[in-house]
């Protein structure tokens, strides 16, 4: 799972836990795994200024952001995924996810008394020679304010799990058939987490999980980490086959990418007032990796 996605999941999970029980939860641990390579993670308000946008500081770090949301009576934090609208003739989001800004758009949605606000992250490389490897400068900008809250029907976590199990079994068998044992092990690790009573063991981002989330949600998030094989050179996306095998590879891969994205969103959102709904973002398409133009 890309670090950009993992961090959004962590903000949702930690934020909802704190909003519900501020006296029993930490807003956001400074040592969280999703901050390991970040010089800073800050939050700003965006306002139209002439032909561009101006930034006003909102919170200096994730813990301050979550505390300020609580003070502003935000009731829940959710995440949303917006496909980029790929065409049948061009590269799909799955094929572009390994590139900066590729793979679709991930948003944070905070619901308060006046409606929902949307936040979009921007990751910029800072000093690449830092000895602590904290090279990423991350800014989340509030790109929409007081939007009508729109939620789809509650996500069926068990149905997502069944579909993911089926896909992982099929794509693992495909990988074994082509002697791609390393990838097969990743898919089989995903299956193992989906059946585990204590998912997350051994994963880099096991601190994304929460004892407050349903077991199925924890299983889905853990499987998504293990089975996320998408990227650039040397990744699952870099493979090619002949004839029917290529079509089978494409179909299984596209289905896995969709299932993992849906699973990540539904699992994270299950921590928001016990609601696993998939939010429908209605903020319009925005260019990625530019200053929220």
Q: Left (φ > 0), alpha (ψ -120 to 50) or beta: where does 79 sit?
A: beta
Task: Summarize pLDDT for 182-201 with one digit per residue, the tens.
Answer: 999 999 999 999 999 989 88
Q: Record the pTM.
A: 0.88
Q: Which residues does 108 contact at the CB level (< 8 Å), separation at least 6?
A: 8, 11, 12, 77, 78, 79, 80, 118, 119, 120, 121, 140
- For the four alpha carbons of 99, 103, 104 and 110, in that order, the dihedral sign comes to negative
Give the per-residue pLDDT at 2: 82
Output the pLDDT for position 84.
78
Give the C-alpha separation, 175 to 189, whole Å: 13
> Where does residue 90 rank: exposed (0-12), middle (13-18), buried (19+ CB within 10 A)?
exposed
Looking at residue 100, what is its pLDDT? Answer: 62
Which residues of the chain register pLDDT less than 50? Answer: 276, 278, 280-281, 284-293
pLDDT per residue as tens digits for the range 53-77: 788 999 999 999 999 999 999 999 9
Closest CA to 139 of 40, 6, 33: 40
Which of 152, 274, 164 shows the shortest CA–CA distance to 213?
274
Whether 106 and 288 have beta carbons less than 8 Å apart is answered as: no
């Amino acid at each position: 799972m890309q670090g950009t996605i993992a961090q959004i999941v962590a903000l949702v999970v930690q934020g909802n836990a704190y909003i519900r029980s501020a006296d029993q939860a930490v807003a956001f641990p400074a040592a969280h795994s999703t901050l390991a390579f970040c010089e800073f993670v800050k939050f700003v308000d965006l306002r139209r200024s002439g032909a561009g946008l101006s930034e006003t500081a909102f919170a200096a770090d994730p813990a301050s952001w979550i505390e300020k949301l609580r003070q502003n009576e935000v009731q829940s934090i959710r995440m949303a995924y917006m496909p980029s609208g790929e065409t049948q003739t061009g590269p799909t989001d799955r094929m572009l996810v390994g590139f900066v800004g590729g793979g679709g758009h991930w948003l944070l949605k905070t619901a308060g008394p006046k409606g929902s606000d949307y936040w979009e992250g921007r990751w910029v490389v800072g000093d690449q020679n830092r000895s602590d490897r904290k090279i990423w400068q991350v800014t989340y900008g509030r790109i929409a304010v007081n939007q009508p809250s729109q939620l789809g029907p509650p996500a069926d976590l068990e149905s997502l799990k069944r579909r993911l199990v089926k896909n992982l079994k099929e794509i693992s068998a495909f990988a074994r058939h082509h002697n791609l044992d390393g990838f097969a092990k990743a898919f089989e690790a995903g299956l193992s987490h989906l059946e585990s009573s204590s998912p997350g063991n051994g994963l880099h981002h096991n601190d994304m999980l929460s004892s407050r989330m349903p077991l199925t949600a924890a299983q889905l998030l853990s499987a998504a980490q293990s089975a996320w094989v998408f990227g650039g050179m040397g990744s699952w996306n870099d493979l090619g086959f002949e004839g029917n095998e290529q079509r089978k590879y494409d179909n299984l891969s596209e289905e896995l990418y969709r299932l993992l994205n849906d699973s990540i969103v539904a699992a994270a959102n299950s921590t928001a007032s016990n609601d696993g709904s998939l939010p429908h973002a209605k903020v319009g398409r925005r260019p990625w990796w530019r200053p929220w133009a």
